[in-house]
Amino acid sequence: MLRWLRSKVPGPYRLFLGDILNGLKQTENYLPRHQALCDLKHYEPKSTKEARLALQAIVNTLWSTHTHRFNDEILDVVEAFIQILHRNPRWKNETRFMDCVKDLSLTSKYGISRSGFVRLLCMGGDAYKDIAIAVSDALFLDILGGLRQTKDHLPRNSALYDLVFYDPVSVEKACFAFKACIDAIWSTREAFPQRLRSDIFGVNEDFRHILRRHPSWKKNKQFFEMVASFAQDKKYGKERISFIWLLRFGDKKYSPLVLPFLADDRCAQITIKALCGWSDASAADKVRPYLTHPKAHLRNEAKKYFRKIENNSQEEKL
């Protein structure tokens, strides 16, 4: 495949693509693989045919040299090809390229990595939307099934690991998935009581990674209002801290959603951290009482908040 590609790819890109594939074939040292994936970000196919052949060759190479980082590497490949499609928007309507992506998303051996190909498939327009939704839903049902297992820890661990790589096709699907995961963990809490806190935190951490891949969702009020509703539900007790922690990664306009938690000492520290991260000076009066709070960690957090507000104020004056 590599020799054939070198004969087909024109100009200086011939060796460049070959170097990428050679780097991905390395299994003894992580650095050549990492460098190859970094180089892929700068790869510029000259046609959709070249892009299609390159994608197939790269995925086949990663699979043939399967390592524990396979899912992460597929995500890097997908991100690189998303940028290629952004630079060449007409290619999104090229049937043969999108059919290639569809075939990859339907190849069961790639497991949760297929969620990355779903992201690419969503860029192909309405013609591929139904397939993308079907594959994404099937992958999520597998994750949800693992979270509902009560006899063994392994399916739960595997499901939480896979959730990092799951990619909802829309923010509405993300809302549904988040709620379903939390409900599944809460409904089976008696089977693994010692894991409740770590599992709920794990879901919130996984969705933080999902939000990083979809930065525009950070401004979506629907998702963060739903997270806030979980944080406001007192049945979750101390586990509400995990939901407030996720709210930190939203837009500054969501600060009113976290202000009520300042009244609860169990949630105050993470709430002040969120307000500090947003540099929200409007909450100063509500944070001020914590400067003299009996608990040192809350006093220290309040001091950091006012230090940040003061520094921002001085910068604005300059």
Which residue, 87, 109, 124, sits at the end of a domain?
124
Residue 188 counted as domain residue: yes
Inside any domain, residue 34: yes
| Residue 217 and residue 312 in one domain | no
Q: Which residues contact 40 (CB under 8 A, 6 or more apart)?
A: 20, 58, 76, 77, 80
Specify if 243 maps to a domain: no
The answer to the question of residue 241 being in a domain is no
CA 172 from centroid of its chain's CA atoms: 15
239 is a domain residue: no
In a domain, 1, yes or no: yes
Instruction: Tell me what pLDDT residue 317 has.
Output: 67
Looking at every residue in the chain, the average pLDDT score rounds to 88
The last residue of a domain, from among 234, 263, 280: 234
The token duo for 237 is 């007790």
- The neighbour count for residue 249, using CB atoms within 10 Å, is 17
- The answer to whether 159 and 146 are in contact (CB under 8 A) is yes
Confidence band, pLDDT 50/70/90 cuts, at residue 318: low
pLDDT band of residue 307 (cuts 50, 70, 90) is very high
In terms of domains, do 101 and 156 share one? no
With respect to residue 114, please indicate whether it lies within any of the assigned structural domains: yes
131 and 118 both lie in a single domain: no
Tokens 């490949």 belong to: 77
Both 120 and 160 in one domain: the answer is no
Distance, in Å, from the CA atom of 70 to the CA atom of 161, rounded to the nearest integer, reads 13
pLDDT tens-digit profile of 170-219?
A: 999 999 999 999 999 999 999 999 999 999 999 999 999 999 999 888 88
What are 171-183's pLDDT values in tens digits?
999 999 999 999 9
> Do residues 289 and 226 share a domain?
no
Which of 124, 154, 189 is the endpoint of a domain? 124
Rounded CA-CA distance 26/288 in Å is 56
Phi-psi region of 111 (alpha: psi -120 to 50; beta: other; left: phi over 0): left
Q: Which residues contact 98 (CB under 8 A, 6 or more apart)?
A: 92, 121, 124, 127, 128
Q: Are residues 55 and 139 in the same domain?
A: no
Whether residue 190 sits in one domain with residue 219: yes
Q: Which helix (H) or strand (E) holds 159?
A: helix 153-165
Are residues 118 and 138 located together in one domain of the fold?
Answer: no
User: pLDDT tens, 68-127?
Assistant: 889 999 999 999 999 999 999 999 988 999 999 999 999 999 999 999 999 999 998 888
Tokens 């963990």 correspond to 185
Q: What is the CATH number of the domain that holds 317?
A: 1.25.10
Cα 163 to Cα 70: distance, rounded to the nearest angstrom = 15
Nearest to 82 by CA among 67, 70, 97: 97
Tell me which residue range forms the domain holding 33. 1-124
**Cα Rg of the chain (Å, integer):** 23
**215 and 258 fall within a common domain:** no
Angstrom distances, CA of residue 310 to CA of 142, 234, 273: 49, 34, 16
Sign of the Cα pseudo-torsion (149, 179, 161, 200, in order)? negative
Given a contact cutoff of 8 angstroms between Cβ atoms, the answer to whether 193 and 157 are in contact is: no
Q: Are residues 97 and 141 in the same domain?
A: no
| 227 and 257 inside one domain | no
Distance CA 226, CA 232 (A): 10
Q: How many domains, the chain?
A: 3
Question: What would the pLDDT profile of 250-294 be if each residue is shown by its tens digit?
Answer: 878 778 888 888 888 888 888 999 888 888 888 889 999 999 999
Please check whether residue 189 lies inside any domain of the structure.
yes
What's the CA gap between 16 and 36, in Å, rounded?
10
DSSP assignment of 250-318: S-GGGHHHHGGGGG-HHHHHHHHHHHHHHT-GGGHHHHGGGGG-SSHHHHHHHHHHHHHHHHHHHHHH-
